[in-house]
Amino acid sequence: MTKGSYTTTRIKVSPPPLTVLHLNPRVFEHEGLYGGTWRRTLEPLAFPIPIVAAELADKWLEVSAETPSAVSTLGIAVERFLDDVGGQLRAVRKVGDMRLSDIRRRHIDAWEMRLLTQHRASGTDTHYKYAVHMFALLRRIESDAPGSLHPEVVDRLEQDSRLEPVRNPGLEPFTTSETKRLRAAAHRMVFRALQSTPAQSANRNVLVALNVLLALSTGEPPEVIRGMSVGHLQVTASSAYDEATARMTPRDRMTWLAQQDGIEAFAVTFVKNRAGGEER
């Protein structure tokens, strides 16, 4: 689809056929990083535009399965969008049978301007994240099923949100000497825990020390480090261990090599999920 102008023509895309949507609650469950099961629910009938809510909730479920870390922020963004746009539409017409294709750019703009006002007043990135996630979700809907959105809404989504992230001045970086002392203190704490007999369980202090070591070695902040797991680690060892570990799973191999003190180096590979895509 090309963006309309005086020199280009818009290719007309027929909207996907109307489908009957059930309005039952959409529930997403996932395991938390630190154990336990988390449940998030979107109830279409709780909003002024229940069919639109059902359409967005179905895509929210799909995206949440792909990126569980986004389930909460995206869910709140969808709820606020539905409350705002539903309130706009309810003021001028009956909205019970409205679909996502009935929403126009003026509705998107009004929702975004109210979000911008809240964003400026809060001084945090919370409302910016709602805007970015909502824009990404609408783009995903149109990408998966061209014609789902009105052309003027598609035009608006080709541009970035009016909201910008808050850039507060950061703290002064640690000096080289401070960094060395931090690394040494964290290393001693983790080393003592590993050398204790029997092996000491990782208490809070040891976990903090391990996170410090990971942050210093990868350059990543705590919100990224806490999402890492054993599956993100790859170990290098001498070829002398190849025969003994040939039939082991990666996790078992790493555990065995650690017990033999045979690990020469670690590599950390992970994917950071963002609303606009992925970054490896």
pTM here? 0.62
The amino acid occupying position 96 is G
More confident call, 23 vs 170: 23
- The CA-atom distances, in angstroms, between 218 and each of 24, 26, 122, 239 are 44, 38, 31, 26
Hey, which residues does 30 pair with through a beta bridge? 38
| Degrees to nearest 5, angle at CA 142 with 137 and 144 | 90
Per-residue pLDDT tens over the stretch 61-97: 999 988 887 888 999 999 999 999 988 877 666 667 7
Please tell me the distance from the alpha carbon of residue 11 to that of residue 8, in angstroms, as a whole number.
Answer: 9
More confident call, 6 vs 230: 230
The amino acid occupying position 56 is L
pLDDT band at 16 (very low <50, low <70, confident <90, very high): low
Burial of 207 (0-12, 13-18, 19+ CB in 10 A): middle
Q: Which candidate, 54, 52, 59, places its Cα nearest to that of 84?
A: 52
